[in-house]
C-alpha cells in the first residue's frame, strides 16, 4: 500500500463544513484520513506497486500483465495502468477496469481469466484513488468519508482463488461521479459539476444487503461457515455498514478487518490497503481462508473466497 503522509482530522474538516468529530466518529467511524497534497493517482499507484513487487520479490520486467482500477484518474488517457507500466519500467500489457469501490475484486476476477488461459504467470493489480479531487468539499454528506491512497498485489498462477460473486445493478440514481460537461459550443444538455453525488442512506441499505448476500453465497456454495474463515476483509465505507452486516450474518465482528478509523473510504484502494495492513501485521497465515467483499458505484458489488 501507499498513502500520502498528510493526514486530515475530523476537527480539520469542521473548519470547512458544518460537522464535528463526534458525528463523524459515531456515524461513520473515521478519525482521520490521508489526503494528497502533491501526490498524483498514478504516483500513489506506482508507489504501492513497488512495495508489492518488493514484498513478492518480483522484478517489474517479470510481470505478464498490469491491471489497474480508479475512479479518480489523473488522465482519461493514458490509462492508470499504462502510467504504472511506464513508472515501473515494465514491458507487459496494461489496462484499467472501472467498477468503483468494488473494482479490486473485478481485477482479481479478470486476472483469474488470464491465468486460466495460461496467458500469464505474474499479474500486478492496483487500486489507486485521489478521492479528494472528486469530492465536493462543500458537501458534508460526502467530503468527510473519503480518503486518498493506493493498494496493490502481485498475483501468481495457482489454486488460491477459490470462488467469487460479482453483481451489477446498473444505473446512476444512487451514486454518480459525472464527468466535466466540457466546452462544446453546441452542447445543450445538462452540465453537472464533476464531483461525487451519493444518496447515503440508499447506499447504506444496498451495502449491507450486498455484503451479507455475497458472503452467504460463498458460504453456501463452498459448504463453509464463519468458523472456517480466518478473516473477512471488507470495503471500508462506514463502520456501521460492517457492524450491521456482521450482526445480520451472525458473524463475529472480530472476523472483519477494520482500518476505516485511520484511512477512510479509499474506493478501489480500500480492500488492498486493508489486506496489506493485515498481512504486514502478521495475522494472516499461509493456508488461511479469507473473504474479500466490496460494494459501491455501479451499483456493483463483489466478494471472493481465497486461500492465502
Q: Which residues are catalytic?
A: 101, 235, 265
Please tell me whether residue 249 binds ligand UT7 under the rule CB under 6 A: no
Q: How far apart are CA 283 and CA 202, in angstroms?
A: 34
Please tell me whether residue 75 binds ligand UT7 under the rule CB under 6 A: no
Structure letter (DSSP) for residue 145: T
Q: Looking at 81, 84, 120, 207, which residue binds ligand UT7 (CB under 6 A)?
A: 207
Please tell me whether residue 236 binds ligand UT7 under the rule CB under 6 A: no
Structure letter (DSSP) for residue 228: G
Q: Three cell numbers at 25?
A: 466518529
Peptide bond into 303 cis (omega under 30): no
Q: Looking at 1, 3, 8, 28, which residue binds ligand UT7 (CB under 6 A)?
A: 28
Contacts of 25 (CB under 8 A, 6+ apart): 10, 31, 261
Q: How far apart are CA 92 and CA 62, in angstroms?
A: 9
Stretch that binds ligand UT7, among 60-68, 91-99, 152-160, 201-209 (CB under 6 A): 201-209
Please tell me whether residue 8 binds ligand UT7 under the rule CB under 6 A: no
Please tell me whether residue 9 binds ligand UT7 under the rule CB under 6 A: no
Peptide bond into 78 cis (omega under 30): yes
Stretch that binds ligand UT7, among 64-72, 148-156, 186-194, 237-245 (CB under 6 A): 237-245
Nearest distance, CB of residue 215 and ligand UT7, angstroms: 16
Residue whose C-beta lies closest to ligand UT7: 200
Show contacts with ligand UT7 in window 154-183 (CB under 6 A).
Answer: none
Nearest distance, CB of residue 10 and ligand UT7, angstroms: 9
Q: Distances in Å between the alpha carbon of 110 and those of 5, 66, 70, 96, 107?
A: 32, 11, 15, 11, 5
Residue 295: is it exposed, middle or buried by C-beta count within 10 angstroms (0-12/13-18/19+)? Answer: buried
Please tell me whether residue 296 binds ligand UT7 under the rule CB under 6 A: yes
Give contact residues for ligand UT7 (rule: CB under 6 A): 19, 23-24, 27-28, 101, 140-141, 144-145, 198, 200-201, 203-204, 207, 237-238, 241, 265, 296
Amino acid at each position: 500500500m501507499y498513502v500520502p503522509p498528510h493526514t486530515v482530522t475530523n476537527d480539520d474538516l469542521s473548519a470547512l463544513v458544518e460537522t464535528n468529530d463526534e458525528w463523524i466518529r459515531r456515524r461513520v467511524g473515521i478519525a482521520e484520513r490521508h489526503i494528497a497534497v502533491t501526490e498524483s493517482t498514478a504516483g500513489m499507484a506506482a508507489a504501492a506497486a513497488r512495495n508489492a513487487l518488493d514484498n513478492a520479490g518480483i522484478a517489474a520486467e517479470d510481470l505478464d500483465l498490469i491491471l489497474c482500477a480508479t475512479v479518480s484518474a489523473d488522465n482519461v488517457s493514458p490509462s492508470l495502468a499504462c502510467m504504472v507500466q511506464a513508472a515501473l519500467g515494465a514491458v507487459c500489457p496494461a489496462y484499467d477496469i472501472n467498477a468503483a469501490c468494488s473494482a479490486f475484486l473485478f481485477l482479481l476476477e479478470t486476472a483469474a481469466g488470464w491465468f486460466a488461459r495460461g496467458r500469464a504467470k505474474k499479474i500486478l493489480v492496483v487500486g489507486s484513488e485521489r478521492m479528494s479531487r472528486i469530492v465536493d468539499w462543500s458537501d458534508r454528506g460526502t467530503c468527510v468519508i473519503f480518503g486518498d491512497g493506493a493498494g496493490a498485489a502481485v498475483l501468481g498462477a495457482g489454486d488460491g482463488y477459490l470462488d467469487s460473486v460479482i453483481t451489477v445493478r446498473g444505473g446512476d440514481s444512487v451514486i454518480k461521479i459525472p464527468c466535466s460537461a466540457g466546452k462544446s459550443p453546441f452542447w445543450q444538455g445538462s452540465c453537472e459539476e464533476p464531483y461525487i453525488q451519493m444518496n447515503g442512506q440508499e447506499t447504506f441499505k444496498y451495502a449491507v444487503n450486498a455484503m451479507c448476500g455475497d458472503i452467504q453465497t460463498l458460504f453456501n456454495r463452498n459448504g463453509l461457515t464463519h468458523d472456517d474463515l480466518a478473516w473477512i476483509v471488507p470495503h471500508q465505507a462506514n463502520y456501521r455498514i460492517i457492524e450491521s452486516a456482521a450482526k445480520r450474518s451472525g458473524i463475529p465482528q472480530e472476523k472483519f478487518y477494520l482500518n476505516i478509523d485511520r484511512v477512510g473510504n479509499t474506493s478501489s484502494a480500500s480492500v488492498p490497503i486493508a489486506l496489506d495492513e493485515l498481512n504486514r501485521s502478521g495475522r494472516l497465515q499461509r493456508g488461511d481462508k479469507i473473504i474479500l467483499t466490496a460494494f459501491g458505484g455501479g451499483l456493483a458489488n463483489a466478494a471472493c473466497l481465497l486461500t492465502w
